[in-house]
Structure 1
Amino acid sequence: MNSTPPEGQYPEAVENLRARTRQFIRETVIPAEPRPGQALNVSVRRDLAAAARAARVFAPHVPVEFGGQGLAVEHWSPVFQEAGYSPIGPAVLNAMAPDEGNMHMLNLIGTAEQKRRFLAPLAAGDISSCFAMTEPHPGAGSDPAALATTAVRDGNGWRINGHKRFTSGATLAGFAIVMARTDADAADGAHGASTGASMFLVPMDTPGVRLGAPIHTMDTYLPGGHSHLHFEDVLVPDSGVLGEAGLGFQYAQVRLGPARLTHCMRWLGLARRAMDIMLDRANTREIFGAHLAQLGIAQDMIAQSVMDIETSDAIIAKCARLLAVDAKAGSALSSVAKMHCSEAVYRVMDRAVQLCGGDGVSDGLPLMQYLNEVRPFRIYDGSTETHKWAIARRAAAERRRAVAGGEPFQGTAVSHEGER
């Protein structure tokens, strides 16, 4: 199986960037990968990032004016998949969460000064960031409406108080984008039910920002890990409001739709790597007088993995095209894509481990580490179960609206008694 989507599906400039990224990842990044279970050394990452700039593959999603490659969202997938072929590739290319999602949102809704102060150094890789939204129970988690962190008016600014958890990248971040519940009177009442929360740009050295205990998880490749983050009477000026006060929930969808999808892209790239490892083993390992690739049970595992990869690639491409023209509809489809891809990628990894046997569960191959990296994706950015709940609700609501609009109702059987 070719470990990349067929060429020629995208404009020539995109195909060229994909080819450069593929070459850079395989020739420069993969030889520098840490052993399974070990984090990427900061100085090694810095050197690799410099090499990525020289190879013209750094920050593929960032506008050219900020030093990136200027890819449109509908063209991200082939390049992000190439980056994800190495578990450290996205970080090296400055296309890793949460920075990638924060850059995208800053570019869309940030002021010129906010872009100068926060986006430019983030895009250049000079600083990193975090997105502070998830909270300890009973605060915001699967249900964003449970947001407990507050921001209240204080003179010409806002005073933030709250406790966040699973704040990915916080230990290395230069600033946080903080979601906080704001006084309804301070927001534009014309927006109605969409009001109630705002986003704030908060430098990590602001008085009252306190880094809490790290959360030790099974995934290790995300720079900065995951940790608790505390905001204790943190004063932020009006210039620190990202976008318009009161529209934080709307902006969260602007960020989360593409961010869910880029997770899918990156992990699908790593699933292709696992698939290649599985195929190399199947083509060379002999058992019961035949290569594994000739045995029916192995062929079933391979075929199921091919289908998981291809369906994931297709739904990512469809969602990316939709996001480019309709952010709301694209965000809804990204929920479907995230749920499908997180489960499909995990299945591919698990089959690769199983087919590789004892080597699959040892550090002789990187597969167990890959499995550890992708397993949390079934929970991060909304668990599979939460997305299924949301998907079902949307489907039912859309059908109710269609019937109310005049489409035939299909839910009641028609009686044919008495017909002759």
Structure 2
Amino acid sequence: MISQETIQQIQNQVKIVDVVGAYVHLKKRGANYLGLCPFHNEKSPSFTVSPSKEIFKCFGCGKSGNSIGFLMELEKMSYVEALRWLAKKYNIEIEETAVSPEVKLQQQTSESLHIINNFAQQFFSNVLLKTDEGQDVALSYLKERGFREEIIKKFQLGYNPEARDAFTNAAIAAQYSPELLVKAGLVNNRDGKYNDNYRGRIIFPIHATSGKIVGFGARIIKKNDKSPKYINTPENEIYVKSKILYGSYFARMAIDKAGECLLVEGYTDVVSLHQAGVENVVASGGTSLTTDQLRLIKKYCNNLTIIYDGDGAGIKAALRGLDLALEERLNVKLVLIPDGEDPDSYVNKIGATAFREFVDKNKKDFIIFQLEIALQEAGNDSAKKSAIVNQLAETIAKINMPQDFT
């Protein structure tokens, strides 16, 4: 727990104009500052910040509060997360109340893993952009896929060299613990020898909604490589796959503003769509949706549109976990990309405007979509049709309707 003394110090040192000004373009008007509200769309500024009172107030939507409340509302942070964010911004050392040795060890391990991940990201990005191997092998591959340098830098993409221990040697030379490097999934230990885990792969850092790097996805480049297409960070103190959506840090504000979250399957789908200007998009990483992931989406909006490949595998992936989405009272719609395409290739083929139009035109309510697919598979089999009705009834029963207690 953060001590009351630290909380008081944070409140005393925070400057609300600095905090809000990182998100909103503010202009001084008399004693206050004025800007466009980040919580709703407006053309004329009605959002006021008072430096003397250390509060904000929007006269359009009614939202108001202090710096902590601003971060909690805009970034969907918890109270403690907002305090820690402000403490870091103002270089305030956090004093914790007494915690058990086990909790303290977990906190120290988590902090160490974050530091290691930052080092790894910088190493991989440097190799990609500034070495001959990175440029010739990985950067050329990414550019062939249509990725421009600005989007590569935005998502902090990188490359792990082919050499057996290039990253390992650099990390150990920088005094990082080999055991923690293994725990982070960056290094493996075979027969007492430490080697790179992601050799010859494109690196996709995975960010929490706070912006901290919690893990990595590593993709093969060579077409004849028989190893798994992706290797992901193993679960540890800071990376739990079921609680993470790739791209959520970059998409969070766009989702909040659009009132809709687009869900795709892969990392490259997210990066391509962002590059095209479609920014309210995240990826599940190809796994079934979990309750934690759905609740993360629900922090920002109530509307979920799932965009998957139009082949059989894509349809099955789109249907996985959607009963959970209904239980979370999300409005779920589905869009299938034409056969032979995925969101990455399709947006590059038709462009951002046409892609948005395609999504808007082809959205189908989840239940109607499920019914159409099931009836196609059933054909003229009356027994299968009867089973479909029962299955559909079960799905509808999972919709979490608000209770009327009047």
Q: Normalising by the residue count of structure 2, what TM-score does the alignment of the two structures yield?
A: 0.23
> Of the two structures, which has the highest relative contact order with CA contacts closer than 8 Å and spacing of 6 or more?
1
**More helix as a share of residues:** 1
